[in-house]
């Protein structure tokens, strides 16, 4: 019995050797030489081998400057396998967030793993995470796995910008209307509103929408300006669209012509989103050219 089994084994190996000699194994992918010197039947046919692709996540300011997307076969093959790949925009845009790449991967017989290397472009914008797509197509001597397209996520790691509001000085100025405080320099009529513009700026452009609330307040120290006698109170919300860095807050002061020194009021920033506050209080100083010791000049 043992002799018959050994004879049968040598018979099978002989058939395999003939097939290899004729190139049948290389053509079908059914058999291939084994690394150990024998013959392996584990190598799969083209219909059995699938090409798979994996997703990837990368920080925008990664130290390597790029991301690798893994591509692998479900098993080894005796045939050369090729597959095309290409990138496509999602929320990430080629040329701004990453570099477009397309080409062909080649798996030599026995190889099962490759990578696609893509360059990531860093910018200074604080922005939401973005993604683009890498797709496989046109497999040769294999079939596409599912999915054949994956997303690559670029995680933003830029700091949020900061908000700053400036201080403003304004001359109250009024014309002589024959009242008890006559003799003032050329300016505006008593009781007329004079606009004062505060500038709110971002330290850097953002890729996100930045919002910040604002509201006026009377001066805390004497002599403080008082609404609605020295200025008109106001409040609201500033909206910075992506890329914008400057917004204005306008406050109307009142030319009352009273014999008084400088007065101050405040504009406070509050309720900020997608930013931090660097200087959140603007001081408005109302100067009286006649009674502030300026000799009629602000």
Q: In whole angstroms, give the CA distance from residue 156 to residue 125.
A: 9
| From 58-72, 94-108, 121-135, 208-222, the region with the lowest mean pLDDT | 58-72
Render pLDDT for 162-171 as a digit per residue (tens, 0 to 9): 999 999 988 7
What is the model's pTM? 0.66
- 11-23 residue pLDDT tens: 444 544 444 444 4
Q: What average pLDDT does this structure show over 130-158? A: 94
How many whole angstroms separate alpha carbon 128 and alpha carbon 122? 14
Tens digits of residue pLDDT in 204-232: 999 999 999 999 999 876 678 899 888 99
Average pLDDT of span 190-217: 89
Contacts of residue 146, Cβ cutoff 8 Å, sequence gap at least 6: none
**CA atoms of 50 and 72, how far apart (whole Å):** 8
Domain 162-287 is classified in which CATH homologous superfamily? CalX-beta domain (2.60.40.2030)
Q: What is the mean pLDDT of residues 266-292?
A: 88
Q: Which part of the chain is CATH 2.60.40.2030?
A: 46-155, 162-287
**What is the reported pLDDT for 7?**
47
| Fold type of domain 46-155 | Immunoglobulin-like (2.60.40)
Beta bridge partners of 269: 214
Phi-psi label, residue 139: left if phi above 0, alpha if psi -120 to 50, beta otherwise: beta
What is the Cα–Cα distance from 298 to 283, expressed in whole angstroms? 17
Q: Which neighbouring-strand residues pair with 268?
A: 215, 281
């Amino acid at each position: 019995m043992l002799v018959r089994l050994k004879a049968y084994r040598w018979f099978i190996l002989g058939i395999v050797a003939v097939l290899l000699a004729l190139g049948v194994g290389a053509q079908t992918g059914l058999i291939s030489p084994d690394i150990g010197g024998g013959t392996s039947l584990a190598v799969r046919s083209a219909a059995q081998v699938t090409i798979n692709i994996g997703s990837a996540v990368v920080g925008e300011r990664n130290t390597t400057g790029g991301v690798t997307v893994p591509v692998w076969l479900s098993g080894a093959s005796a045939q050369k396998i090729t597959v095309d790949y290409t990138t496509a925009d999602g929320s990430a845009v080629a040329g701004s967030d990453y570099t477009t790449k397309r080409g062909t991967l080649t798996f030599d017989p026995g190889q099962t793993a490759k990578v696609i290397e893509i360059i990531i472009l860093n910018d200074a914008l604080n922005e939401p995470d973005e993604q683009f797509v890498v797709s496989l197509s046109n497999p040769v001597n294999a079939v596409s796995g599912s999915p054949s397209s994956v997303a690559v996520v670029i995680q933003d790691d830029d700091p949020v910008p900061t908000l700053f509001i400036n201080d403003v000085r304004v001359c109250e100025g009024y014309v002589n209307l024959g009242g008890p405080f006559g003799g003032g320099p050329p300016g505006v009529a008593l009781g007329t509103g004079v606009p004062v513009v505060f500038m709110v700026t971002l330290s850097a452009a953002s890729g996100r929408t930045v919002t910040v609330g604002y509201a006026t307040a009377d001066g805390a120290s004497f002599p403080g300006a008082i609404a609605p006698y020295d200025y008109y109170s106001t409040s609201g919300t500033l909206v910075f669209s992506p890329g914008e860095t400057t917004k204005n807050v306008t406050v109307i002061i009142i030319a009352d012509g009273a014999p008084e020194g400088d007065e101050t009021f405040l504009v406070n920033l509050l309720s900020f989103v997608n930013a931090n506050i660097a200087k959140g209080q603007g001081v408005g100083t109302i100067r009286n050219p006649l009674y502030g010791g300026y000799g009629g000049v602000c």
